[in-house]
Amino acid sequence: MSVDDIKKIGVIGAGQMGSGIANVAAMSGYDVRLMDLDAEQLAKGMAKIEHNLDRQVEKGLISDDARKAALPRISTGTTMADFTDCDIVIEAATENEKVKTEIFKSLVPHLKDSAIVATNTSSISITRLAAQTDRPERFVGMHFMNPVPAMELVEMIRGIVTDEETFKTVSELGKRMGKIPVPAEDFPAFIVNRILMPMLNEAVYTLYEGVGTVGAIDQAMKLGVHHPLGPLELADYIGLDVCLAVMNTLYEGLADSKYRPCPLLTKYVEAGWLGRKSGKGFYDYTGDTPVPTR
């Protein structure tokens, strides 16, 4: 399959990443089928897309005509049978290998023979996930950055069985969706998260060991290295459950103690303090202004 053969894109998961992928795909002229088992999450995802498009119009990034054209391209559903006519399906569910494995087992019976499967995993082995499908040669990692409409990068990861035609086709699709594809090898967490997550984890250790408060750590990094967000703010934005999942993947996959998740990160996730999406993490987001929780 060439990139010109791709007309309809399926997206599994209507959360932050899935809705963002659907957004940029529709803005790039593709018909999109956005699927989530939770109808309420689907409604939230579509509301998020509309909000993002409205903001882009306000900022002059897109025209109102482009916004009006993009929205009707997105249809929604709650079953895998919705993907029968899709040319590629991009999985963007939670960063949990068991969940993703079950998704792929449920998905492939509904796909046409030529369809490509991609995963937005931020850390899990592409080769291992591909082995759970009937088409490992047409399976590829397509890791978008968050927030998807604003970030230029898409990491492209081959599994050991991924064929060259699939890799080239999906890389070109990334370009047509307005992203810059960067190839990465199939090692735990790939490039960005291999570098970023240990830094965030070290910030949590810095808090855990009492070197600085939440506010001091974030202010120091913003002022000292000109990061737009402090590391603890960024961890909250990403989701502490996602940060912990990636650190566990690195720790287990590379067997190196330097990737050991900070116990405080684990404790916050166990408490349900997942960051912005739960209303509380290293900051409390229930008021008008975020307040450090430590």
How many helices (H) and strands (E) are present in the chain, helices listed first? 11, 10
Catalytic residue among 120, 123, 125, 193: 193
Domains 3-184 and 193-288 in one fold: no
Residue with tokens 């509904």: 110
CA gap 260, 273 in Å, rounded: 20
What does DSSP assign to residue 4?
Answer: G
Active site residue 122: yes
Which amino acid type is present at position 74? I
Catalytic residue among 19, 23, 122, 125: 122
Distances (CA, A) of 184 to 142, 147, 167: 10, 20, 12
Residue with tokens 């913003």: 222
Sequence-separated contacts (24+) of 209-212 with Cβ below 8 Å: none
DSSP string, 113-145: TT-EEEE--SSS-HHHHHTTSS-GGGEEEEEE-
Catalytic residue among 52, 125, 143, 201: 143
Reference 23, options 149, 136, 119; nearest CA is 149
Percent pLDDT > 90 in the chain is 98
Active site residue 155: yes
| Fold assignment, 193-288 | N-(1-d-carboxylethyl)-l-norvaline Dehydrogenase; domain 2 (1.10.1040)
Sequence-separated contacts (24+) of 62-68 with Cβ below 8 Å: 62/27, 66/27
Report the 10 Å Cβ neighbour count for 202.
13
pLDDT tens profile 195-221: 999 999 999 999 999 999 999 999 999
Reference 8, options 90, 110, 93, 100; nearest CA is 90
Model confidence at 294, pLDDT cuts 50, 70, 90, reads confident
CA gap 77, 41 in Å, rounded: 11
Reference 236, options 286, 278, 194, 267; nearest CA is 278
Cα R_g (the chain), whole angstroms: 19
CA gap 45, 13 in Å, rounded: 9
Residue 148 pLDDT > 90: yes
Active site residue 209: no
CA gap 265, 199 in Å, rounded: 13
Residue 152 pLDDT > 90: yes
Model confidence at 6, pLDDT cuts 50, 70, 90, reads very high
CATH number belonging to domain 3-184: 3.40.50.720
| Mean pLDDT score across all residues of the chain | 96
Which amino acid type is present at position 271? A
pLDDT tens profile 79-96: 999 999 999 999 999 999
- Which SS3 state, helix, strand or coil, does residue 46 take? helix
CA gap 118, 121 in Å, rounded: 9
Report the 10 Å Cβ neighbour count for 49.
24
Tokens matching residue 165: 């035609």
pLDDT tens profile 22-66: 999 999 999 999 999 999 999 999 999 999 999 999 999 999 999
* Structural domain spans, the chain: 3-184, 193-288
> What distance lies between CA 33 and its chain's CA centroid?
17
pTM exceeding the 0.85 threshold for the entire prediction: yes
Active site residue 226: no
What does DSSP assign to residue 228?
Answer: S
pLDDT tens profile 216-272: 999 999 999 999 999 999 999 999 999 999 999 999 999 999 999 999 999 999 999
CA gap 201, 115 in Å, rounded: 38
Query: What pLDDT is recorded for position 1?
Result: 84
Count the residues in the chain.
Answer: 294
Catalytic residue among 52, 155, 171, 233: 155
